[in-house]
Amino acid sequence: MIVHIVAGGPKDLLPDLTTYKSQENIKWIAVDRGAIYLQEQGITPNEAIGDFDSMSQEEFARLKISGLTIEQFKAEKDETDMELAINLAYRLNPESIRIFGATGGRLDHLMANISLLYKALEWGRDIPITIIDKQNIAFMKKPGSYTLEQLPQMKYISFIPISKEVEGLTLKGFKYPLENRHIFFGSTLCISNELILNHGTYSFSSGILLVIRSRDK
């Protein structure tokens, strides 16, 4: 099972969610206004969660009478709506989690959502989490060796150190290869690389990397 979480970020950054609708064994979790986005694309979420403060009273009333399972929280809470949704997704024990509607708009929301990827790694979870919008795919990795397939629609690949340093970074099959390099938090050395083969590999021995696959508009 794969869990899709749809949050209430700017609608123009959402990909066409119906392309994911046909996949088997998908559970949809709506975060706040994400429930409206899903319904607009003809998708009924399995559950909606959050404080729903981004909806008008009329919108929330229509949501309640739709028969959707809703888990409502007070606005004054220790977790963000997205964190509550990720916790709910973990309880379903999925193979992976994809997050939509988590980028654009308020920068503090974006940074909080990126930080949740880091927190998931720190929790020791083995369930991969990916943030997806029209222009980007983002995920974090612990040390190891990984393969990336070429995605023509996402030409650019960036490797951003999230920890104080990332040691032993090696890139093979890329336009700008690296061999056993140490990069530090704040480094822009590995921004906007590209694959030159059908696939490439990246590996590192310590630290945490944020990997972003992107395209221009």
For the chain, give every domain's residue range.
2-134, 140-214
Convert the pLDDT of each residue in 42-87 to its tens digit.
998 999 999 998 888 888 888 888 888 999 999 888 999 999 999 9
pLDDT of residue 75: 86
In this prediction, residue 120 carries a pLDDT of: 85
The pLDDT of residue 62 is: 86
Over the chain (217 residues), what is each successive 10-residue block's mean pLDDT? 95 91 86 93 92 88 86 90 94 94 93 92 83 96 96 95 96 97 96 96 97 94
Do 2-134 and 140-214 share a fold?
yes
**What per-residue confidence (pLDDT) applies to 124?**
66
* Class at the top of the CATH hierarchy for domain 140-214: alpha beta
Around Cβ 61, how many Cβ atoms within 10 Å?
11
Q: Is 23 exposed, middle or buried (0-12, 13-18, 19+ CB in 10 A)?
A: exposed
3-state SS string for the chain: CEEEEECCCCHHHCCCCHHHHCCCCEEEEEECCHHHHHHHCCCCCCEEEECCCCCCHHHHHHHHHCCCCEEECCCCCCCCHHHHHHHHHHHCCCCEEEEECCCCCCHHHHHHHHHHHHHHHHCCCCCCEEEECCCEEEEEECCEEEEEECCCCCCEEEEEECCCEEEEEEEECECCCEEEEEEECCCCCCCCEEECCCEEEEEECECCEEEEEECCC
Measured distance CA(207)–CA(169) in Å, rounded? 10
CATH architecture of 2-134: 3-Layer(aba) Sandwich (3.40)
Measured CA to CA, the distance from residue 40 to residue 59 in angstroms comes to 13
The whole model's pTM is what? 0.93
